[in-house]
Structure 1
Amino acid sequence: MNISITLEQVEQKYQKYYKRLNNALSTCFTKTSPETLYPPAQYILEGKGKRIRPFLTLLACEAVSGFSKNAINTAIAIEILHNSTLAHDDIMDQADLRHGRPTIHVKWNTNAAILSGDMMIAFAYEYILQTNTPRHDELVHLLNEAHITICEGQAIDMEFEQRKDATITDYLDMISKKTGRLISASLEAGGIVGDGTSEQLEKLVIFGNKIGRAFQVQDDYLDIMAEDGKSGKVSGGDVINGKKTYLLLRSLDLATDSEKNLLQSIIDNNGISPERVPEIRGIYERCGVLDEARELINADTEAALSAVETLPYDEGREYLKGFALKLMKRDF
């Protein structure tokens, strides 16, 4: 049987599970002492995160087993681990705000952010071990491998910021590790809890890898195409801040010599003035990288949808595909 799921139904399910996940996350860290350990951890979990990764864990479990009740602890573990990396990333990035609120190291101090982030990692594993599954070993190995890969991605990103000769290949490798691996691991974990076969897990990983890359390239695309002030987005913020993106690095391969000099100056000078953003957008258009980015996003999305087409449970599979389409239809 093949069922049809609308984007409205996907949104309804997402909102239902979003509340379910937030309710579970609100009870993770109930201790108040030491006050520089547990309260910071609870604070970051109370932020306005979209809960994309744990939602994917639940949907993946449903797609291979038909239900997700056994996967809630694993979904919580994934979200706790994700937020532990954010607490540490914010220190390295010297970020003052996350989701419009002061970051942990600003609200408390750097030591509190490091220590609470470390403690959250241990809690993530505790939730994995509380999952109702005989396949704990696989889950622990998966979380270890994903966490190591995320750290590799963050290290590459830090090195990336200092390099003046980064390539598009370097960029895609970085985002696949820093962003993409936890997305695919979230799906793989749900598949393990659902007692999926190795083939089904492989399909879920492909889905996650493709959606993860499409999601990041779309972020790059939307940044340069954003309307000022809409959704809090500044048009060309990546260019203004000198961020190396898919569009910038790909344009360096395709632009004329004079255009390349201007694009390279964005990297060399760590940014460009806001009034020159339309000029950079014009170069992207002339090089064809905006069209290329859209084609890549569409191709990755189609490949992701195709990968999970054979998963056994229609409803879970169609919600998984529907959520991918929902993510790819983000609009500023």
Structure 2
Amino acid sequence: MTSPSTTSEPHADRVAALRDRIDDALPSLVEDRAPSSLYESIHHVLQAGGKRVRPVVLLLTARAYGARVERVLPAALAVEVFHNFTLVHDDLMDDDDERRGRPTVHVKWTEGTAILAGDLMLGLSYELLGQVEGTDSDALYDVFHPMVRKLCAGQALDAAFESEDAVSVAAYLDMIDQKTGALLSAAFELGGVIGGAPAPAQERLRAAGQLVGRAFQIQDDLLDLTAQNEEWGRAVGGDLVRGKKTYLTLRALEQADGPEYDWFARLVTNEGLPPDDVPEARDRMADLGVFEEARERVASYTEQAHEHLQTLPETPPAETLRWLLDHLKARDY
């Protein structure tokens, strides 16, 4: 099935309006609260912007079933606060200096502050989820609890991959399903629960989220080497320099042989490539067809997600959600 052809302007406007609602609400969650040393760091994170994909997906899914934005907004804020909690701890674990062009919390403040800020955002996400009116909180937490467990397991797998000499693409995709796909699946499913979707539809929404997670992460892996948009906000080739195992590097290792394999194997044996080698790595991957294959994977996973989203009622928010998936597939930052 191919997603319906639609004019982008009304969908882009609808997404922008929802993103504005989220951007306006997030900083106010922690304003004028003490101790300032802790809450200022959270404010720093929440006002840094971002694509807000997860809360927008949740809002559009619930809206497709007729739920009002005001009723759904606490859940949307919950998933975005939770997502930012994972980024704060992820930055700390990876010792990253910048996030979205700004210093990370552990750099601007301290490692202890980053740990506490993440912990508090985790608690705040649960508090926000409990503020959704008209929906049984237990039904929401039945989605949220397993997501937290899966995401933590995925983060642990990602960290463990750094010290493993051989990681298969299948293992990498399993990690994505947990680290990236779990929260996206929860965003789709929570929107369905709040909107009153029947159980079979909730299952299909959950499956759509996992597929979108795979497409989203592989597109991220691609952009790490191909991004030209200044809004990408990260150094191109950063994953290669850090020796991070991504879909692209793992496929390059699977495809290459002889001297070509030895060249890419330095990613593992030397724990990364010198920055000056990044352009050559990009050329070698292109010659192996890794970029083309990755783009095909992104398109395939997105198409499969569209098939699951056939369960949605035919409403304008559902059309916008489908448009958003195609927009994410083609994003350049």
- TM-score after normalising by structure 2: 0.92
Does 1:72 find its partner at 2:69? no
- The equivalent of 1:94 in structure 2 is 95
The answer as to whether partners of 2:67 and 2:194 remain within 8 angstroms in 1 is: no
Q: Deviations over 1:246-268 (max 9, x none)?
A: 11111222212221111111221
In structure 2, the CA distance between the partners of 1:233 and 1:10, relative to structure 1 (3 Å rule), is same
CA distance in 2, matches of 1:232, 1:83: 16
- Whether 1:312 aligns to 2:310 is no
Superposed displacement of residue 233, structure 1: 5.2
Q: Which moved more, 1:149-158 or 1:227-236?
A: 227-236
Query: What's the CA shift string for 1:149-171, capped at 9, x where partnerless?
Result: 11111111111111111121221
Is residue 29–residue 42 contact of structure 1 (8 Å, CA) maintained in 2? Answer: yes
User: 1:235: how far off?
Assistant: 4.2
Structure 2 residue aligned with 1:169: 170
Percent of aligned pairs sharing the same letter: 38
**Structure 2: segments with no counterpart, 5+ residues:** none
Structure 2 Cα separation of the partners of residues 226 and 4 of structure 1 = 26
Q: Deviation per CA, 1:132-161: give whole Å up to 9, x if none.
A: 133210111211111111111111111111
Partner of 1:6: 7
Give CA-to-partner distance per residue, 1:86-116, whole Å, 9 cap, x none.
2222211112221111222222222222122
Contact 1:251 1:287 in 2 (8 A): yes
Provide the TM-score with structure 1 as the length reference: 0.92
Q: Quick check: 1:227–1:234 contact (8 Å CA) kept in 2? A: no
| Aligned-partner Cα distance in 2 for 1:84–1:236 | 25
Partner Cα separation in structure 2 for residue 66 and residue 32 of structure 1: 31
Backbone CA RMSD of aligned residues: 2.1
* Mapping of residues 124-143 of structure 1, within 5 Å: 124-143=125-144
Q: Provide closer, same or farther for how the CA distance between residues 253 and 156 of structure 1 changes in structure 2, counting only shifts above 3 A.
A: same
Does 1:269 pair with 2:267? Answer: no
1:192, CA displacement in angstroms?
A: 0.7
SS at match of 2:118: helix
Deviates more, 1:54-63 or 1:197-206: 197-206
Asked if 2 retains the 8 angstrom alpha-carbon contact of 1:65 and 1:194, the reply is yes
| Secondary structure of the structure 1 residue equivalent to 2:180 | helix
> How far is 1:187 from its partner?
1.1
- Note the alpha carbon deviations across 1:165-203, whole angstroms, 9 max, x for none: 112122111122111111111111111111111111112
- The residue type paired with residue 45 of structure 2 is I
> What CA distance in whole angstroms lies between the structure 2 residues aligned with 1:87 and 1:235?
21
- In structure 2, the residue matched to 1:152 is 153
Q: 4+ residue runs of structure 1 moved beyond 4 angstroms?
A: 227-235
Q: Deviations over 1:27-65 (max 9, x none)?
A: 211233112332222221111222111111101101233
How many residues matched? 331
